[in-house]
Structure 1
Amino acid sequence: MGEQARWTRARLGRCGPPLDLLTASFRRHVYAPHAHDEYTIGVCVGGSEIIDYRGGHIRTGPGTIVVLEPGEMHTGGPGNPTDGYAYRALYAEPSLLADGTLGGPPHFREPLIDDPALARALRTAHTRLSTCPDPLEAESVLPWVLTALARRHSTARPLADRVPGAAAIARTVRDRLAGELTDPPSLALLATDLGLSRYQLLRAFRTTMGIPPYAWLAQHRVTKARVLLEAGLRPAEVAALVGFADQAHLTRWFRRVLGVTPAAYRNSVQDSPGPGGRHSAA
């Protein structure tokens, strides 16, 4: 484990606010005392870190979540002389955690949280967005996970889960996303248009569709991509036409949905006899 740190900036929706993500692995590094304007939310992925916070010491271990509140001074360093420490962190504006709760920014009495399922969700979201920070994916995933963190582990009272008219809301969001395939609107904008919070929109969509908005849009894009591939277009062309950031992004989702790469699919349908295939009758 060496001294490595990499920052990535995601954006929450089209023209939305930035959110910074840190991937860090240290053997000896000790942070100077400092504070952040945002919530610092980290997941330990290796070793152990000692964090000085609120006049005491926090010791992390693999799988633990740490929440440090805005403006609160803290420092951190290796938990022992040999193992070092590695973690994934994101820096979230207070409004991101307050969207599904009542009473303003949530307060976390205990900064160290043991919640394996939530730690996995945070780590998965962090990894995906650090690799390819798609704005709609960030907005579909991070507010949902951060709201879950606040609702489960802070003193804030949760909003009611039921969203009246959820099915109609989901259909409206679905149609807007499908109609603006290559440049989808932000969920925050859609929520404002519908008189909802973003969390309410996400809950209505997930309840009705079973998946978050970005996953639905990605699958819809795959459906559109199939038609273009069958017409003979190359995967790189298709990716841009259906709104994926690049061919790699198209390939990732195409394999998730259909189990093959776009190139393999194009070759198979072009080579197959019958309607649309290369050997079909003129």
Structure 2
Amino acid sequence: MSLSSSEWFSRNGIECSRVNATGSRFPRHLHDEYVICANLSGREEIWLDGKVSDVFAGQVTIYNPSAIQSSLFSNDPVSFISIHLPQVILSEMFGTTAAPALREGVFHDARLFQAITEFNQAARTGDELLLEQQLLWLCGELLDDKESAEQGEVQIIEQVKQFLGEHLHEKPQLDALAQRAGLSKYHLVRRFTQLTGLPPLQYHMQLRLQQARELLRRRVHPQEAALQLGFYDQSHFINAFRKVMGTTPRHYAQQIASAQYKLPIA
């Protein structure tokens, strides 16, 4: 039996934790903030509002402030990420004096699961711009509003996409993008993600990497390609490229130049 937090840290008043547990439990307890969890492995049995539910890998759990809850962990290793979201953040986000009540319990929600894990990852990097965007994305998914974007908003998002494509060498600022779109930052991130599958900053990164491939095909040196696209940190460029292509920019360029179109992983 074991239960431990492998990490627990705070960013801008939002606490993030990762818990690993085997054959153990959390007794009934409560939190004064929202607790949003993404289960990564194993099986957890939760008690919430008098009901017992199983939580498996790939599922999310949502607890409102002051909700009485408990957890029982299976003998197989269980691991999950938790985001502890203060009430004031959602009340300010939604423009209400009282904190809104979220849907509560266990859910299959791939987009929310991704939003939780990527917010946790952004919080570890300390990148304030990325962290702000991921928080807006997370809060948008928590609304559980399946309303589709109006046609006018589709056109606005297309204009934002065009702007991002024309400014590949600059890191976009959410304030400027929202002002250009005539939307709030929250609304921009939410609608952009709904319509493209990626938040604006990640979408912009994919455009930059796409252009990097084109430059490398034209025999531009990897370092020069990185500089043209605003990657002043070479390791950042290499890691981002490898994550998408499975190989480094230099190795990709070498293989293209030698006309070997099967790209073995370096």
TM-score using structure 2 length: 0.66
Equivalents in 1 of 2:206, 2:77: separation in Å? 41
Q: SS of 1:242's equivalent? A: coil
Deviation at 1:262, TM superposition (A): 1.2
Deviation at 1:141, TM superposition (A): 4.9
Deviation at 1:172, TM superposition (A): 4.0
Report what 2:204 is aligned to: 217
C-alpha spacing 1:271/1:18, structure 2 compared with 1 (3 Å): farther
Deviation at 1:42, TM superposition (A): 0.9
1:254 to 241, 245, 257: 241
2:44 to 48, 51, 59: 48
Deviations 1:232-260 (A, max 9, x none): 3449x93896348662x434542455453
**1:146-185 equivalence runs, <5 A:** 146-151=139-144, 161-162=149-150, 164-172=152-160, 174-175=162-163, 179=167, 181-185=169-173
Report what 1:22 is aligned to: 17
C-alpha spacing 1:264/1:188, structure 2 compared with 1 (3 Å): same
**1:191-206 equivalence runs, <5 A:** 191-192=178-179, 194-206=181-193
Report what 2:55 is aligned to: 61
Equivalents in 2 of 1:83, 1:66: separation in Å? 19
How many residues align? The count is: 252
Equivalents in 2 of 1:209, 1:73: separation in Å? 35
Q: CA RMSD in A?
A: 4.5
Name the aligned partner's letter for residue 209 of structure 2. Answer: V
Q: Relative CO higher for 1 or 2, CA cutoff 8 Å, sep ≥ 6? A: 1
Could you tell me whether the CA contact under 8 Å between 1:170 and 1:209 is conserved in 2? no
C-alpha spacing 1:268/1:184, structure 2 compared with 1 (3 Å): same
Structure 2: gaps spanning 5 or more residues: 260-266
Equivalents in 1 of 2:45, 2:191: separation in Å? 39
Equivalents in 2 of 1:179, 1:119: separation in Å? 29
Residue 125, structure 1, aligned to residue 113, structure 2: no
Could you tell me whether the CA contact under 8 Å between 2:36 and 2:63 is conserved in 1? yes
Equivalents in 2 of 1:34, 1:257: separation in Å? 41
Equivalents in 2 of 1:121, 1:85: separation in Å? 18
TM-score using structure 1 length: 0.63
Equivalents in 1 of 2:178, 2:98: separation in Å? 19
Residue 264, structure 1, aligned to residue 251, structure 2: yes
1:115 to 108, 117, 122: 108
2:137 to 144, 165, 170: 144
Structure 1: gaps spanning 5 or more residues: 11-16, 153-157, 273-282
Residue 36, structure 1, aligned to residue 32, structure 2: yes
Deviation at 1:151, TM superposition (A): 1.9
Deviation at 1:5, TM superposition (A): 2.5
Equivalents in 2 of 1:239, 1:90: separation in Å? 36
Could you tell me whether the CA contact under 8 Å between 1:25 and 1:86 is conserved in 2? yes
Residue 7, structure 1, aligned to residue 2, structure 2: no
Equivalents in 1 of 2:63, 2:138: separation in Å? 16
Equivalents in 2 of 1:57, 1:184: separation in Å? 45
Name the aligned partner's letter for residue 32 of structure 2. Answer: H
Deviation at 1:170, TM superposition (A): 3.9
